[in-house]
Amino acid sequence: MGAIKTIVADGNEIFRYGLSALLSQDNFEILSEVDNGALVLTAVESTNATLCVLSFKMPEISGIQLANKIVEKNPSVKVLVLAHEDTDSVLDEFLDSGANGLLLKSADRIELLDAARKVAVGEHYLGKQFSRRMTREYVRLARLKNSRKHITRREREVLSLLVDGLTSIEIAEKLYISPRTVDKHRTNLLKKLDLKNTAGLVRYAMENKKGF
């Protein structure tokens, strides 16, 4: 396999040059180094690059927006996005984009090169931290889905009335149970749904109306 023709894009000059130097030591040929989001598309159009390594945060146009534009106009070009932090919002934006890989800027040299090689040949790559975050979310949703099966009819009634804004005393009167029993149902719901307070219960119920 010949050298992987690569464009490196980052607004920070020191990071950009350092990244290019690391890639150049391996099987990557740096065709262009870009410091501005608007110039990335020009670089892609004017070269025969097969890989674009760009920052999640770029001047003028975000890395994710660039990834979508690159893939739309040049589907043969693969995109590896480098992010400053491993947050849910960063992961969500990546998953909704056309980028092929996502990696933290703090990743070590070995992971960077591994990610770049895999993305360059069309594979998808998710950095270790993002992969762990995604796994945790998957497990949380699986547990949540399982917990719904164990929510009793009475707990559903209590939750429905909480959404309507009733107090424990009002709910007790409506369901002909004691306020203490209402509080017990509320506590059970918090545990089953892994929520911290009544506001969380109400928000959950509003977001999952079909499940109730």
Q: What is the pLDDT of residues 152-168, one digit of tens each?
A: 889 889 988 988 888 88
Examine the domain organization and report whether 203 and 129 are in the same domain.
no
Angle, CA of 168, 171 and 176, to the nearest 5°: 120
Residue 91's pLDDT band, with cuts at 50, 70 and 90, is confident
Place 119 in a pLDDT band, splitting at 50, 70 and 90: very high
Query: Within this chain, do residues 14 and 115 fall inside the same structural domain, yes or no?
Result: yes
Provide the CATH number for the domain around residue 117.
3.40.50.2300
In a domain, residue 123? The reply is yes
Is residue 59 in a domain? Answer: yes
CB-CB neighbours of 171 under 10 Å: 23
**In-domain check, residue 203:** yes
Give the position of tokens 């070269």: 47
How many Cβ atoms are within 10 Å of 103's Cβ, its own excluded?
25
108 in a domain, yes or no?
yes
- How many domains does the chain contain in total? 2
Domain that holds residue 172: 150-211
